[in-house]
């Protein structure tokens, strides 16, 4: 066996190890009926994030393998559920005065991400005085809040189809003393007069990743 064959075998072993690690996390998460934050669930999601955000040369092969057997698609849905529960949990804690907004685990990530997203939008239009419709703002409308904070002249409006999330986000904004971010119960899939009016009067429509 020459060096190239040995290298390919090693890559295959490393790739298989990565796939098995991700699958073990997948099975641990999928066995839980409730993905609300607790010590074990949070540790699993953090481990998963650490894996996918690392510069592992075997990522592409592992992703392809996980796609073929359907694991990846279900894992993405589990991650979405987990993020929704995380936002709900932290919205309630902030409303109850148990935590400050800046203590949200990914607050720093949101600061950097919204800065990058605004810079990308600025490449296509001057956002000064423009109207942005944020679709799917959720229980913790952090991205929408930071859009407004980082670009004060931007008129930001939010919609979400989930009445509980709208109630929580409004209570959160009230707790934080924020009055510049109106949030409405609307379903973007239902093109009624209200949605059509919002769309026609918006310069930018931003759709959240979980929608």
Q: How many residues belong to the chain?
A: 211
Q: Is 141 exposed, middle or buried (0-12, 13-18, 19+ CB in 10 A)?
A: buried
Give dist(CA 171, CA 140) in Å, integer. 10
> Which contiguous run of DSSP H or E holds residue 176?
helix 163-176
Give dist(CA 211, CA 208) in Å, integer. 6
CB 109 within 8 A of CB 86: no
Query: What tens digit of pLDDT does each residue of 130-189 get?
Result: 999 999 999 999 999 999 999 999 999 999 999 999 999 999 999 999 999 999 999 999
Query: What tens digit of pLDDT does each residue of 41-78 get?
Result: 999 998 888 887 776 666 778 888 888 888 889 999 99
Give dist(CA 13, CA 116) in Å, integer. 37
Tokens 């999928």 label which residue? 30
Query: What tens digit of pLDDT does each residue of 4-45 get?
Result: 443 344 344 346 788 888 899 999 999 998 999 999 999 999
Give dist(CA 39, CA 176) in Å, integer. 27
To the question of pTM greater than 0.85 for the whole model, the response is: no
CA 66 and chain centroid, separation:
21
CB 209 within 8 A of CB 142: no
Give dist(CA 117, CA 143) in Å, integer. 10
pLDDT given for residue 211 in this prediction: 83
Give dist(CA 54, CA 184) in Å, integer. 38
């Amino acid at each position: 066996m020459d060096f190239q064959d040995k290298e390919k075998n090693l890559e295959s072993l490393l790739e298989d190890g990565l796939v098995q690690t991700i699958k073990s996390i997948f099975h641990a998460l999928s066995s839980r009926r409730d993905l609300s934050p607790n010590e074990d669930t949070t540790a699993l999601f953090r481990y998963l994030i650490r894996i996918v955000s690392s510069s592992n040369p075997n990522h592409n092969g592992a992703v392809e393998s996980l796609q073929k057997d359907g694991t990846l698609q279900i894992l993405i849905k589990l991650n979405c559920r987990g993020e929704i529960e995380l936002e709900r949990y932290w919205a309630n804690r902030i409303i109850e005065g148990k935590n400050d907004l800046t203590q949200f685990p990914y607050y720093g990530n949101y600061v950097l991400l919204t800065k990058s997203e605004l810079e990308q939008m600025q490449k296509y239009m001057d956002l000064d005085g423009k109207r942005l419709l944020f679709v799917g703002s959720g229980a913790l409308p952090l991205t929408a809040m930071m859009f407004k904070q980082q670009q004060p002249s931007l008129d930001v409006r939010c919609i979400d189809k989930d009445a509980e999330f709208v109630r929580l986000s409004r209570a959160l904004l009230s707790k934080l003393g924020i009055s510049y971010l109106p949030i409405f119960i609307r379903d973007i899939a239902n093109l009624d007069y209200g949605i059509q009016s919002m769309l026609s009067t918006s310069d930018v429509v931003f759709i959240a990743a979980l929608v």
